[in-house]
């Protein structure tokens, strides 16, 4: 989830003719339940769980474990994340299972640049298993073994590799930086060739670990044989995680960040995710402007969104981190504060980023995250985003346990005190400390109207995540877009530094780009996010599942 050491290159934008648009895709409709995620086999596991009488949390837990098998780039048991749950007739809640820094970690661990994102030391204490278990304990209906077992079967018996997974595996295996021998043994094709569509991937070691978790219970991952294997791996690789760190880890149930936007209730994850706070601040700021009257692809709307983004991301750097270690100001999500921010936006001219925080002396998060959305027959909605950090985490497979480790430690600010115009942040709130949870951008989001869910969304994409969610929410609420169009439409991103707009629609909207540049914005082109979303039709209550095909995906309903 990081652009830590890789500054964004500001490339010139070339105006090109508009290209013919493909026919509009249609969402999948269902009456009883819907699962939307990046991996088709995992989506099928989720909808089968719903059909068997499970609720949305049962299905989400089943999908989470299945993705650890079928989408190893980001699905995981060796990482962490956030799950938003909206129970029928009750306030939404958030299950936070972000990784923590091991007890022996130091504030300057990454300061000299010698420890890379592929080092054993880059791994934080995994939270996924306890996080999914906590959500299941609180809301699940079906037995734990039943919801984990489909993942066991997928790992032990194998599953068919599709095109996106084959391309992903071949890409990481061809990278000379992928040096971990166990990773290459587990994920390399047995005959030494490239993975092809239709091949079968079998993961027996991972299946054995998942079977222990299913049959013995989630605590086995932290205190049993899997914990011993992780401790042994850390010793062999000179890592930091000890068995005591695993025993001490706790997932948390936290109160979500809540704001209103044009009559809708929007709920997002609280710190240690910055997502909910940043999303609320941006929505509150934009509420001061009539976006619909300006038009979705007007330069004014893109300008106002970019200006709201840079102000909220500036506050992210100033104030946000693990709330158990720092005090976060209450005013960030208030309407009054947003009105002040809105009044500082020049409607015709970009505000230079370095003028927004003069107190910060000025001298990049990866994309191995995945999001899925679930809703059941009763209207319980789940929005879950979890991650390994970079693609395939630190590319270390725990020997004998078969799962990939995260490299979330690189989500801490690496060099205390050093904030750069290229996007590296060194402010105090997110500096590393033992036991601390690193700041995240994950933004699983639930949107309600009159107490009922109307939109379930989220995305991977590092610091772009919250802005991807913003684009989807604005598309649906301000511009009444059908959910598939809202997901498919070009997205934009500004993160304070680098002081540039990243825009997917450079080719489709050349006039818009030209006008933004005339207003003082730098604009670059970049693919953004993977927002698997569900819209609940306000007219008939149908569930409309929109898979985002930027990577891969399936909406499965019944």
Catalytic residue annotation:
369
User: What is the C-alpha separation between 471 and 463, in angstroms, rounded?
Assistant: 14
Q: Which residues contact 388 (CB under 8 A, 6 or more apart)?
A: 73, 74, 76, 78, 79, 368, 369, 404, 405, 406, 407, 408
Residue 362 forms beta bridges with which residues?
419
- For the chain, the straight-line distance linking the first and the last C-alpha, in angstroms and rounded, comes to 33
Q: Strand, helix or coil at 361?
A: coil
User: What is the C-alpha separation between 211 and 226, in angstroms, rounded?
Assistant: 11
User: What is the C-alpha separation between 547 and 552, in angstroms, rounded?
Assistant: 8
Residue 311: φ, ψ to 5°: -70, -40
The encoded tokens of residue 377 equal 């027959």
- Please state whether beta strands 93-97 and 257-261 pair in parallel, antiparallel, or not at all (unpaired): unpaired
With contact defined as beta carbons under 8 Å apart, do 455 and 483 qualify? Answer: yes
The encoded tokens of residue 487 equal 């997901």
The encoded tokens of residue 237 equal 């690789």
Exposure class string for 61-90: b at 16+ Cβ within 10 A, else e: bbbbbbbbbbbbbbbbbbbbbbbbbbbeee
With contact defined as beta carbons under 8 Å apart, do 387 and 406 qualify? Answer: yes
User: What is the C-alpha separation between 417 and 428, in angstroms, rounded?
Assistant: 7
DSSP conformation class of 377: T
Say what the alpha-carbon torsion angle 108, 113, 115, 118 is, to the nearest 10 degrees.
130
Instruction: Write out the DSSP string of 381-445.
Output: EEEEEEEEESTTTTS-BPTTT--BPP-GGGGSBSSTT-B-TTS----GGGB--TTPBPPB----E
With contact defined as beta carbons under 8 Å apart, do 544 and 29 qualify? Answer: yes
Q: Is the backbone of residue 198 left (phi > 0), alpha (psi -120 to 50) or beta?
A: left
């Amino acid at each position: 989830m990081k652009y830590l050491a890789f500054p964004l290159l500001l490339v010139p934008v070339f105006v090109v003719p508009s290209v013919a648009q493909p026919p509009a895709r249609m969402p999948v409709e269902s009456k009883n339940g819907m699962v939307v995620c990046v991996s088709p086999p995992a989506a099928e596991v989720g909808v089968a769980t719903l059909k068997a009488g499970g609720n949305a949390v049962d299905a989400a837990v089943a999908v989470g474990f299945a993705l650890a098998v079928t989408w190893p780039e980001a699905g995981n048991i060796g990482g962490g994340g956030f799950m938003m749950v909206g129970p029928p007739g009750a306030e939404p809640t958030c299950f936070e299972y972000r990784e923590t820094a091991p007890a022996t970690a130091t504030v300057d661990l990454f300061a000299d640049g010698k420890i890379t994102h592929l080092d054993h030391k880059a791994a934080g204490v995994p939270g996924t298993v306890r996080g999914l278990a906590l959500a299941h304990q609180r809301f699940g209906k079906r037995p734990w073994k039943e919801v984990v077992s489909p993942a066991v079967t997928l790992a032990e018996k194998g599953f068919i590799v599709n095109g996106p997974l084959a391309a992903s595996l071949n890409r990481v295996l061809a990278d000379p930086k992928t040096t971990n021998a166990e990773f290459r043994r587990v994920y390399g094709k047995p005959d030494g060739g490239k993975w092809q569509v239709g091949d079968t991937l079998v993961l027996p070691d991972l299946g054995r670990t998942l079977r222990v978790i299913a049959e013995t219970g989630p605590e086995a991952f932290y205190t049993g044989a899997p914990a011993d294997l992780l401790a042994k791996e850390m010793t062999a690789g000179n890592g930091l995680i000890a068995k005591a760190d695993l025993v001490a880890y706790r997932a948390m149930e936290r109160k979500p960040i809540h704001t209103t936007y044009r009559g809708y209730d929007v709920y997002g994850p609280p710190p240690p995710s910055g997502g909910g706070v940043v999303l609320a601040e941006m929505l509150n700021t934009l509420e001061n402007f009539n976006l619909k009257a300006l038009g979705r692809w007007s330069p004014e709307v893109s300008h106002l969104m970019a200006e709201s983004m840079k102000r909220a991301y500036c506050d992210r750097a100033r104030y946000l981190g693990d709330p158990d270690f720092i005090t976060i100001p209450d005013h960030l999500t208030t309407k009054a504060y947003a009105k002040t921010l809105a009044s500082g936006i020049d409607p015709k001219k970009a505000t230079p980023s370095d003028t927004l925080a003069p107190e910060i002396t000025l001298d990049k998060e990866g994309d191995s995250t995945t999001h899925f959305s679930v809703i059941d027959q009763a209207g319980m909605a789940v929005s879950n985003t979890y991650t390994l950090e970079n693609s395939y985490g630190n590319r270390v497979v725990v020997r004998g346990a078969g799962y990939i480790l995260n490299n979330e430690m690189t989500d801490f600010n690496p060099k205390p005190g050093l904030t750069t115009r290229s996007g590296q942040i060194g402010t105090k709130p997110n500096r590393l400390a033992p036991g601390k949870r690193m700041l995240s951008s994950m933004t699983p989001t639930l949107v309600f109207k009159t107490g009922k869910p109307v939109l379930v969304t989220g995305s991977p994409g590092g610091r772009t995540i919250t802005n991807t969610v913003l684009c989807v929410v604005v598309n649906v609420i301000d511009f009444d877009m059908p959910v598939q169009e809202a997901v498919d439409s070009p997205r934009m991103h500004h993160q304070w530094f680098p002081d540039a707009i990243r825009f997917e629609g450079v080719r489709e909207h050349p006039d818009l780009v030209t006008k933004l540049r005339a207003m003082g914005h730098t604009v670059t082109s970049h693919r953004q996010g993977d927002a698997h979303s569900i819209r609940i039709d306000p007219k008939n209550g149908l569930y409309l599942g929109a898979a985002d095909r930027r990577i891969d995906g399936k909406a499965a309903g019944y």
